[in-house]
Amino acid sequence: MPKRNSHERLSKRLQKYLTRLNELKFEVDKRQCLSGRDVVPPKKKVLPECIVRFCELDFEGRQLVEAALIARLKAYAPYSKFKVGAAFRSKAGDIFTGCNIENVAFTPSCCAERTALVKAVSEEHTTFTGGAVVAYHPDAFITPCGVCRQFILEFAKKDIPIYVASAPEHDDALPMIEDEHKVLITSIYNLMPRSFSSFE
C-alpha cells in the first residue's frame, strides 16, 4: 500500500511539472510573438502566433483592432445578421477599413477584409504591414475566409500580423473591447501556408 501511494504521489508531481512546463512554453511563445521574433526558423519567414490580452498589444495592434471594431458597425448584413469589420495598415501608415456587404444572391457579397483592401488598392496602396479582423462569437476567434486569405496574400510582400478579436454582442456596448479581452495574433502565412503564388 505505501508503495502504491508513493507511485501516485510521484505521478501527480510529474503531472504538475508537465502542466507548469506547458505554461512556461506558452509564456515564452507569447513573449516571442510580442517581440516579433520567430519561434522556429522556417523556409519562409513566418511570424509566430499567440494569444494575448488586448492591453498587451502595441499601439499599432490596438489601433487596428479599434478601427476594425468601428468599421464593423457599418456592416450591411440583413441576411446573415453576422457583422464583420476589418482594418489594414498600408506601408505608408494609412489605415483602410471595411465591413462585410451582403447581397441577396450571396455570391456578389463582399467580405470586410476585401472591402478594406479594395479601398486601399483603389487609392494606390498595394503593400501592407498589418491587419485586424473582428466579429462577434461567444467563444471562438473568427479568422478570414479562404478567399480573403488569398486576397490578402496578393498584397503581402512578406508575412504580416493579423489581429483577430471578438466584437461585442451588442453594437452599443462601450467600451467595444476590454483590456482583458483575448486577441489572437496570427499572420497571413500562418493562415494560408500553401497559397497560390504564381500565375504560371
Q: Where are the beta strands (DSSP E) in 35-193?
A: 50-53, 84-90, 95-99, 128-135, 161-166, 182-187
Burial of 195 (0-12, 13-18, 19+ CB in 10 A): middle
Could you give the CA distance from residue 155 to residue 77 in angstroms, rounded to a whole number?
Answer: 26
73 closest CA partner among 182, 143, 178, 174 = 174
Query: Is 50 part of any known ligand binding site?
Result: no
- CA 24 to chain centroid, in Å, comes to 23
Beta bridge mates, 165: 134, 183
Q: Is 113 a catalytic residue?
A: yes
Beta bridge mates, 168: none
Q: Give me the catalytic one of 56, 66, 102, 113.
A: 113
Query: Is 148 part of any known ligand binding site?
Result: yes
DSSP strand pairing (50-53 vs 182-187): antiparallel
Query: Is 33 part of any known ligand binding site?
Result: no
Which residues are annotated as part of the binding site? Answer: 111, 145, 148
List binding-site positions for Zn(2+): 111, 145, 148
Positions marked active-site: 113
